[in-house]
Each structure stands twice: as C-alpha cells, then as structure tokens.
Amino acid sequence: MNSVPGSFDTLTFDNRFTAELPADPVLENHCRQVPGALFSRVKPYKVNQPVLLAYSSDVMDILGLDQGYAASGEFTQIMAGNRLAKGMDPYASCYAGHQFGNWAGQLGDGRAINLGEILNSQGARWALQLKGAGPTPYSRQADGFAVLRSSVREFLCSEAMFHLGVPTTRALSLVTTGEAIPRDMFYDGNVKSEPGAVVCRVAPSFTRFGHFENLAAQHNLPLLKQFIDYTLRFDFPHLGAISNETIALWFTEVCERTAEMVAHWMRVGFVHGVMNTDNMAILGLTIDYGPYGWLDSYDPDWTPNTTDAQNKRYRYGNQPTVAHWNLLQLAQALAALTGEVEPMQAALDRYAEHFQACWTTMLSIKLGLENSSDKAHQTFLQGVPDLLQIAETDMTIFFRSLAQLPPVSDLSDEQLLEPLQDAYYAPEAITVEQRGRITGWLRTLIGLWKQSGMTDEARVKLMNAHNPKYVLRNYLAQQVIDKAEQGDYSMLHDLQSVLTNPYETQAGKSRFAEKRPDWARHRAGCSMLSCSS
C-alpha cells in the first residue's frame, strides 16, 4: 500500500530511545518491578469508536503532517492507539520519584505509551506519546486509561501554555474512545462511568528527573552512566562527551531551564498542582497537566490539588522552593555516579540566583518597567504580593489593566482606580484605607514610569505583550468539559482558538477574559481538582 503524502507513514521514525537503551526482557503486559531497564515494550489498547475532537495545526506542521490528513480516518485510528504507523516502536518508560516529598519507588509511564521518536525535515527530534491508551507494566493499581475531562484539560493547557510563551510539552490531538471508564473523582467511594479519551503529547524528550533517581536508587551506576551519556548526546549535544565536568555543566543547565520555567509559571499565575520529581522534565518543560489551575483571586497559598489541600506543598507561592528541592533530589542521583558534591551545590545555587533574576525581570516588564538593581526598584517589586492581597484581586485582569492607567500622578483616587475596577471581585467593598494603599502604590508606579524614559506607547506595547488577556481559567475549562460530555464541542474549538493568541484583544471574545463568576468559587473542577483522570 502506498503511503499518503504528509501522513504518519511518511515520517522518519528514528526511535533512538528503544534502539540504544536496555529493554525490559519480559514481554507480557502486567504490573511488575522492572529493574535494569529503561522501558518496556507495550502496545496501545484498541478502542471501540474513536472520534477526533480537536488537533493542533501548529504541531501538525512541526511534525511534517499535512493539515488535511487530520480529517482522515487513519489519523484518528493512530491517535486513538488502534493502528501503528510504519516505523513506530511503542513502549512505556521506567522511572521512579518523590511524590509530595516522599520517596515513592518505581512509578513509570502508567497511562502513557510512547509511539516513537521522529526526525522532522529540519532534523529536530520529536517524541510522540499517547496518554490514556491503556495499561502498562507501570500502571500499578490503575487501568491506564484517561477520561474526557482530564484529557480536555491536558490538550487545552499544553497549547495554551505554549502560546503564552511558557516552556511546555505540546499536544497534537484529542480523541474520544467510545469506552466508558469508571472513576472515583474525589476518592470518596462515589464511582461513576465517564467517557474515555486519549491525548497525543509531543516533546523533544519526555525524560524526567525520576529516570535518573530510579537508576541511582537501584545502585545501577553502569546504566545510570549509560543513560546520562544518551541524554547528553541527544538532548544536550552542545555540551560534549560525558565526564564529571560535562555532567556538572549539564546539571547547571537543567537548573537554569527549570528556573526559567517556574518563573514563567509565576508570571502567568499558573499552579502545576503536582510537582513530584517524576513530573519534572530535564528539558525544563512543563509536563503532566493533571490537577493544575490558574490563580483567579491572587492567593500565594492556593493549590488546585485536593490531595494537597491540607499541607499545600505545591501551592503557587511555594513552586520556586519545590523546584529547588526537586533539583536537589536529581543532584543526589547524579552525585551517586560522579562522587562530587560541590559542583552540584554550585548548580543549585545557580538555580536560586537565576530564578530570582528571571522573576525580577519578568515582574518588572509586567509592570512596564526596565529591570534595575536599584534598591528602591527592588523594594517596590517586593511589595507587589501584598498589594494584590489588599482586596480580592484577579491577577490576570489586574496586570493587564495596568497598561490602561493614565500616566498622570495627580489624578484623584477614583480616577486612578477606574481602569482597575474589573480586577476586583468586590470593588464596592474596598475601604478608604485600602483604597489609599492601592492608589499610593499606583502613584509610585507612575513615578517610576516617568523616570524610565520609555515612551507611553512603547510601555503599553511592552506590558500588553507580557500580560495575557486570556488564560485557561479553571471555570472556562470546566464549562468546556460540561459541554463536551454532552457531545457539544463548539466551546472546545472556540476556546482553543482564543488561547492561540492570548495577548491580543479578540473581537467578540470578551467572555473568555472575565474573572471567575461566583458560582465557580467552590465548584469541583473550578476551584479544586483531584489527580483522578
């Protein structure tokens, strides 16, 4: 049979992961410990009635797939796991990790099946992975499937984050399977059937901190060295051949990339929700969109994860600290091979330094200011969290609205606050004392604008390019899910389109930029989510 131009069969599958690294010798697909291997070969589960709901035209182009191919039944069958294209070599990878600060042992791809790695026409390597395509040897007590609600959230968020400029894995497609999947959403014994779905995730690499932790925990130093060598050659080729010095340089780059990623999370108000070490990518990409959420009213102690509701380890304000702790676990795994602690500590110190520099720069730009080491500038930035908590404030709308502030300091309090009215959940409840604190801060900001020498036009353009108008608000995602579960995918497509251009005001799309409505304040899916998917 001839291959269709621009189809999966015409892509070049390189599959270096399975070609170069040791495989699990057991071929049966049942849950087990898998020592001495980095992956197990496994095929996706064949489903009854796959239907393509959405796809990313961007990712189609990156891979070299024809846009029209998405409408083919073959594309849907492959994206559901029912068919393998020529060159695919499916597998689930083996890794371990720390979950909520505790060592969890072997974890692995419990509901993710990698289809293989391609080299596109530019020579870039891209790995394709189906999430929710059935059980693997790492599924533990779970079934390996995913449901529509979590798959919608993963698909939308992967693409939304990319267009926001946040380092992330991508999503190629969203397919429903026609299967009914039993789920206990909040682990309270209330099991119900939900529609099944599969997302195809795409990234240059899906290698996680936990891959290295796993090998170090097994005391398998030869395999740890082999995998580090593999990682350097294919993910960090610019660093050169493996040596203790190269490993230190590599870890430093991982620290820097992680710092930049987390700074971007903080910039847009994103909360990952489950920052376990097995959910941290060595490329500094956001991975595993589970119980994530966006800050509505600014609260540094907010976490979207019901499992984390008591300790709030993964709350918004703690994400930079958790990332550092996770990097420490990776450092310990690498030091098991090198025997050198000082270079690892230096890299960890570099993380803290680089995160602070990135965050200071990003926050300055959000405020329409050039970054400065001036003490007054730094003190002003440090006061931003307090300002956002004076009254219940929508973070996204507040920063976006600042660009509309008249650059005139002798306005009345009412005139100064007028552009920010939509950012407050109860503007009528703001007291005289609160209003004075807010307007005092605004006048200081206007004064800093005047000192900067930047034209008003340039400043507004800068601010609007870094303060999004549209983000994947929790209640919007839930509305999409509610409609999709009833067979209505119009809002899914509409919101996907809006989120591809989050910094530009789009005609007729104002409802996607509104703050959280009262009905969503405590509703499941809008305020808190579980890991169940």
Catalytic residues: 278
Distance between CA atoms of residues 262 and 260, nearest Å: 6
Phi, psi (rounded to 5 degrees) for 59:
-70, -35
- Closest listed residue to residue 506, CA positions, set 165, 163, 268: 163
Q: Structure tokens of 317?
A: 């304000």
- Dmax (CA) for the chain in angstroms is 76
Helix axes 375-382, 342-366, angle to 10 degrees: 80
Strands in 305-372 per DSSP E: none
Looking up tokens 């000082």 gives 342
The gap from C-alpha 80 to its chain's centroid, in whole angstroms, comes to 22
Gap between the Cα atoms of 383 and 444, Å rounded: 11
CB 334 within 8 A of CB 228: yes
> Can you tell me the distance from the alpha carbon of 332 to that of 327, in angstroms, rounded to the nearest whole number?
9
Residue type, 143: D
- Spatial contact of 227 and 38, defined as CB atoms under 8 Å apart: yes
Residue 469: phi and psi, rounded to 5, are -85, -30
Q: Which amino acid is at 268?
A: V
Q: How far is residue 476's CA from residue 394's CA, in Å, rounded to a whole number? A: 15
Is 498:509 a contact under the CB 8 Å cutoff? yes
How many Cα neighbours within 13 Å face the side chain of 163? 26
Q: Is 97 helix (H, G, I), strand (E, B) or coil?
A: strand
**Cβ neighbours for 156, distance < 8 A, ≥ 6 positions apart:** 472, 477, 480, 492, 495, 496, 499
**Token pair for residue 372?**
């400065």
CB 403 within 8 A of CB 462: no
Contact 267, 381 (CB under 8 A): no
Backbone φ and ψ of 341, nearest 5°: -95, -40
Nearest of 197, 186, 79, 199 to residue 148 by alpha carbon = 197
Q: Rounded to 5 degrees, what are φ and ψ at 12? A: -95, 105
243: left (phi over 0), alpha (psi -120 to 50) or beta: beta
